[in-house]
Chain A
Amino acid sequence: MNRKENLVMEKGSRMSFVLNNKPISLHVDPSKRLVDILRNNLQLTGTKISCEIGRCGACMVLIDGKAQNSCLTMAFQCEGKHVETIEGISENNVDPIQEAFLEEGGFQCGYCTPGMVISLKALLNENTDPSMDDLKEGLTGNLCRCTGYGGIHRVLQRFCATEECNK
């Protein structure tokens, strides 16, 4: 294989990654932001856009199971990885995390909610017995302007494994 070709990805290079458990291959600019690929190329608009500098969490996705801001992630950084969006999580059924948001009033306008769900999902992937502090720490990258985190605290109580939460 010609080394040079392997080395440099031109505009409109073919990018391959796994999106919501399905392999996908796209012609995109390798520096294109993942959030734009999802929203504009693929119409997966459950991933939201708000601050564009990773400070609000509205665009959160899972990359290889870990939370990552899709506004800070470029196409080439997804190559060969597993990307999961809110649509992927919602594919089969409402996840227990989503159920908790519904039942506890964990959202109002809903614009931050997909990102919140993703971040909590990522945390619970890694930590099966989280304390309330672990759970809150897991959501520090997600801003909510509507709820004042009241309903979100009630959501977290449900996933908290320590004694403080078993009142």
Chain B
Amino acid sequence: MAKGLVLVVDDEAPIRDILSFYLKRAGYQVLTSATGVEALEEMGRSRPDLIISDLRMPEMSGDEFCRQVKGDTATQDIYFIILSAMEGTASRISGLALGADDLIPKPFHAQEVLAKVTSAFRLIAMQNEIKRQNRELTSFQQRVQAEMGLAAAFQKGLLPKLPGIANGLRYTHRYLPAAGIGGDIYAVVPLPEGSTALMIADVSGHGVPAALISAMVKTSFENQVRLGGGPLAWAQGMNEDLCRATLAEQFATAWLGRLDPGTNRLHHVAAGHCAPLRLAGGTQGGLRRSEVLRGRGSMLGIDPQFTYTLQEAEFLPGDRLVLYTDGLVEVEREDRTMLEEAGLRRICAELPAETEAAAEAVLTQTLAFNHPAPFEDDVTLVVLDRLA
């Protein structure tokens, strides 16, 4: 098998013949042309891997030929060696400045040319390998990006549809995954008897693994809710589900609640998650003092023996609930401080009456506080209003 295709361009037939003889003997396939114009025609028919060209030729000089080869994206990667009778460093530099890859002074030793051609083909092989790997990487990256796009769309589909209306509640969300796809999830499930099951969760880590688990968290929550019971039973069931399914260091913080409009009570369980804020009369707008719905419980998915504690709060018509994941309040600013729960409470002390406007105000003011630091973690914010 030929080692590669070499095009020899020289107006002197003896030089073409000598080079051709040695190159063929060394196992290369050789084409010859007497002028640059002829060579370009030849290249229209077959693409050489390497060109050895004289500099001084009639019709088209070697300079011009080199410029045309190197100026065309289709041929610029062809390894170009100039044969030059011109003496001196200046002419050698000018040859390379044209874009030639190497230069051999005339008169030359055929062995020297062969050695240069051999080393050039080593380089060509390396370049081809790099190009092949690049192509593979690029196509792999494109495939991954396309899949990530699909996965992100799928994940968005797991979120409640907006505008959210259920059982006398109006809610909206802001969902900002850090890596296009993330480990945050929330759910609002209306129950037949008029109460509503609520869940927000934040899976450890980022990206695809977290997203896969977040889908599982949602399924597990819906299954638990279907089994009946309340937030305490749901938390225990979800903890067992996650312990079975996740690896070490994969777990979720979660907050679960059940809102019963008949009794105006919100029963809730914290599983290592940041405590939601209740704004009594929050749907009227104006100044409100937030109540932190604090709970105490460990993350889901660590130890099936963990137990949880049921908490209870009042939740009246006109009240507002703000659920969030820690990415919202744990951005470190340049002065090394973070918004934290206290800062979020300050922001929530005065929000617009309308649900959508309230969510926007929280996000805008949080971003303004962090500025210029961006969110680093997945961020989810849910504003849920009980209609008066």
Do A and B bind?
no
